[in-house]
Structure 1
Amino acid sequence: MVPALGNLDAYIGAVNRLPLLTPEQEKDYAHRLKNDNDLDAAGRLILSHLRLVVSISRQYLGYGLPQGDLIQEGNVGLMKAVKRFDPDQGVRLVSYAMHWIKAEIHEYILKNWRMVKVATTKAQRKLFFNLRSMKQGFKADALDTDTHRETLSEHEIDQMATQLGVKREEVIEMETRMSGRDVLLDPAPSDDGEQAWGPIAYLSDSAHEPTAMIASRQRDELASDGIHQALEVLDARSRRIVEQRWLQVNDDGSGGMTLHELAAEYGVSAERIRQIEVAAMKKMRKALAEYA
């Protein structure tokens, strides 16, 4: 669990001091988890990749959500990745876990879509907070003059736009966002007996619909066991080329080797590497089709 917000810096510092695992250690722990359900091994795998979650969480700070919450959700994705990780696929856990970490963070952002809608860019967040402060000042002045208004007057809009150095249209747009009200998902029928229309009519949760769950499970199996079996039909050189070109992701987020790097390694032209890659992908597509 991520500590309180005030201790976030301490948490990040502690995470960055945790030692990384060597490929051999990672494979050993992963086998112990897979074969013996060794929870201590699972803990070692998780701890060594917490810094990856912190790194990925920084990519989503622009949505205006607390980094501590983003890290919390990313850690859930990391635990799911560790549970499903197969060390015999020839892929490092860091590459496999990135998908699960990002998926959990994306889900969290979508669930908090209203917060995201209020202020998404840095400029909008600045306008949002300044506008709130100035609006509270206007309300205080209104109370002094026994005037009660929820919306801004034309004069106040012009005054805000001038002081904040933005267009009056931007002030109006942010004011509209800020004054938005919550909407009932399933409103009660009106007095005349007519059924009221609400978002519940078109917001359906398809995530737990049986056919969708089956399709999702099949996609997961195809992405793990299917790809593993498809790689088995390739010779050693073709498999290495495919893994380096499509499955390898380094700690810094960069991809694997280029065509020219692989060409230099095998002493052939880059075009020859590309031809081998194309042929290998055809074999893999056929194997995946048979698996599916």
Structure 2
Amino acid sequence: MKKERVERKELIEENEALRVQEELNRMLEDARNNIQNSENVVLKYFKTVEKFPLLTREEEVELFKKVAQGDKEARAKIILSNLRFVVSIAKNYINTGIPIADLISEGNVGLMIAVDKFDYTRGLHFISYAVWWIKQAILKYISERSRLVRFPMNRTNELLKIEKFMREYESKYGETPSVETISRELNIKEKDVQILLNRRSKNYVSFDDTIYDDNEATYDEFLNIEDQTVENPEKTIMKNAITEEVRKIVESLPEKEREIIKYRYGFYGKPLSLKEIG
């Protein structure tokens, strides 16, 4: 037990954050590629991200100041401290039939985008901003996977290989690989690469498009929907952060508009209709 506490402390050391983030990325990639051992790898991932403590508002601001100066370790530390939220959000979409490792991995992409776009000077709580990007990344992936069902199996596998290669290439070189590069590296005819990419683009969902969604001992326990009578800590934090930001926005409105919104949406108790407010 003592050894475990030491390991937890080392995991969040700032000069180790980038290394740990890379290890977790490899862990998820292993789970996505090795179906037979996926559950064990994902369970290990769950237990690892639970160890990272949440950041205080002050710690968050200080780290984002460093991120603004190009500090990659600070960026990694913010990401590590928020990975548990990605897991919490990803669990909501396990009924899509997509492996949880895929959902988490794509949610992490959204988290990283949020870190890079976040403006800490506006006084917002980071997670209230990041939730939207995490959900969008997951929903975008679900949307892309759903139209793959209409592909012949061999074409589906080729497109998945292309998309994986493109993600890795863009991450490494900061640019999209050419059709020629994809063809050469994956040994797929250029003509076929172009056809697949064209089909992909027709069904592409942009991060800027809004998608509306209506809807610890074992691996299964991590995936089970939480008991609705018990408040999930991650969801409570996200809910409170978002509520706080909404209140800030409402308070910045002119008095008349502010009062109408407060009565309309139940800030004073029961929501009222516009007729009742009038």
Band the TM-score falls in, shorter-chain normalisation: 0.3 to 0.5
| TM, length-normalised to structure 2 | 0.47
| TM, length-normalised to structure 1 | 0.45
Q: Which of 1 and 2 has greater Rg?
A: 1
Higher relative contact order (CA 8 A, sep 6+): 2
